[in-house]
Amino acid sequence: MGKQILILPGDGIGPEIMAEAVKVLELANDKFQLGFELSYDDLGGAAIDKYGVPLADETLERARAADAVLLGAVGGPKWDSIDPAIRPERGLLKIRSQLGLFGNLRPALLYPQLADASSLKPEVVAGLDILIVRELTGGIYFGQPRENKVFDNGERMAYDTLPYSESEIRRIAKVGFDMARVRSKKLCSVDKANVLASSQLWRAVVQEVAKDYPDVELSHMYVDNAAMQLVRAPKQFDVIVTDNMFGDILSDEASMLTGSIGMLPSASLDANSKGMYEPCHGSAPDIAGKGIANPLATILSVSMMLRYSFSQTQAADAIERAVSDVLDQGLRTGDIWSEGCQKVDTRTMGDAVVAAL
């Protein structure tokens, strides 16, 4: 039996961009004889509409059985006013947690063809290539206890817990060091060790793991300073490793430095490199259904999947080259369009990548 890929198009622009990514995946499947078998299911709002919950048990079982999951995007105004416990995002958090996808890789890469799109000065971001490694199944996102309560005097209060264990920190630190090792051998660990107990343990464990990677240069930075340095001089960074919440904030900031978040894929991996792959951008409800969304981040997520879950380097490289080719041809969806380029819709962009491949 071939490798099983579960496709979750999700909400908003999810189905449109996924349709193009699947074309590319199917072509790569044939061309490189990958033997993939695709199946489909729903997550997020689409799952609420179909199953009444943002992640159905049967979907989770299918995801567990699959060798990799490809996700579009989840969420939208339609589900904004429903019970917080079953909002679309809950499905995303649950699948991350249940599949043990603790290692989130978020590249912030500036495509030379799109250098103008950034709100930063060209000399500050030219050649930008950062990889954020975010811990994805621990910390304050999942910490217990968490509660909303009312005191006897009627005052409400709420709290969350930010826990990290040594083993959780160790395994994500290793991902950071492994990534740094195959890139430029520089790892920056971001924490708030001058204030948080969890960050003090984070820093201590990262330092211990560093002993196994004498070839990688480790530095530490406080999260407030990192948020500042990403704006001031982002090219000082290569690989950044950080916790779930700081990673959420810094990876979004870093991706926006490129000015083209419609181009950025991501991977969420478990201990055996089984993974879920999705674009960094959201479900963009404002343009959903119009056929104008940029499918390239999802197409590049396919490439990441081939690289990280299946070690199909050749096929992964070919997809990345095809994307670069269509940019060279001057094709642009609205989000990355600039004067002198040809504005195309979602399908035309997908077809162009297929043709280039």
Ligand X SMILES: CC(C)[C@H](C(=O)O)[C@@H](O)C(=O)O
Least Å distance, CB 175 to a second copy, is: 19
Are 349 and 355 in contact by the 8 Å Cβ rule? The answer is no
Catalytic, 149? Answer: no
82: annotated binding-site residue?
Answer: yes
Near a second copy by CB under 8 A, which window of 143-151, 180-188, 270-278, 307-315?
A: 143-151
248 forms part of the interface with ligand X (CB under 6 A):
yes
Binding mask 79-108 for a second copy (x = CB under 8 A): -----x--x-x---x---------------
Catalytic, 192? Answer: yes
The DSSP 8-state label assigned to residue 331 in this structure reads E
Three-state DSSP class for 148? strand
- Rounded-to-integer distance, Cα 132 and Cα 106, Å: 5
Q: State which of positions 206-225 bind ligand X (CB under 6 A).
A: 224
Owner of token pair 């810094």? 250
Are 21 and 296 in contact by the 8 Å Cβ rule? The answer is no
**Joined tokens for residue 274:** 């089984």
Nearer to ligand X, 23 or 192 (CB): 192
**Joined tokens for residue 68:** 């990799």
283: annotated binding-site residue?
Answer: yes
Among residues 206, 211, 217, which one has the least CA distance to residue 183?
217
- Rounded-to-integer distance, Cα 29 and Cα 27, Å: 5
Owner of token pair 């960094």? 280
Which one of 49, 224, 317, 328 is the catalytic residue? 224
Nearer to a second copy, 40 or 159 (CB): 159
Nearer to a second copy, 44 or 103 (CB): 44
Least Å distance, CB 262 to a second copy, is: 13
227 binds, among ligand X, a second copy, none (CB under 5 to 8 A by kind): a second copy
- Rounded-to-integer distance, Cα 129 and Cα 313, Å: 19
Nearer to a second copy, 91 or 350 (CB): 91
Catalytic, 141? Answer: yes
**Joined tokens for residue 218:** 């480790």
- Rounded-to-integer distance, Cα 304 and Cα 234, Å: 23
Catalytic, 317? Answer: no
253 forms part of the interface with a second copy (CB under 8 A):
yes
Catalytic, 159? Answer: no
Least Å distance, CB 224 to ligand X, is: 5
Which residues have CB under 8 Å from 302's CB, separation 6+?
Answer: 21, 24, 25, 28, 70, 277, 319
Which one of 11, 41, 141, 238 is the catalytic residue? 141
194 forms part of the interface with ligand X (CB under 6 A):
yes
271 forms part of the interface with a second copy (CB under 8 A):
no
- Rounded-to-integer distance, Cα 295 and Cα 116, Å: 20
Q: Is 222 exposed, middle or buried (0-12, 13-18, 19+ CB in 10 A)?
A: middle
**Chain positions contacting a second copy, by CB under 8 A:** 84, 87, 89, 93, 119-121, 124, 140-141, 143, 146-148, 155-167, 192, 194-198, 200-202, 205, 223-225, 227-233, 245-246, 248-253, 255-257, 259, 261
Q: Which residues contribute to the annotated binding site for NAD(+)?
A: 76-89, 282-294
**Chain positions contacting ligand X, by CB under 6 A:** 89, 92-93, 194-195, 224, 248
Which positions are annotated as active-site residues?
A: 141, 192, 224, 248, 252
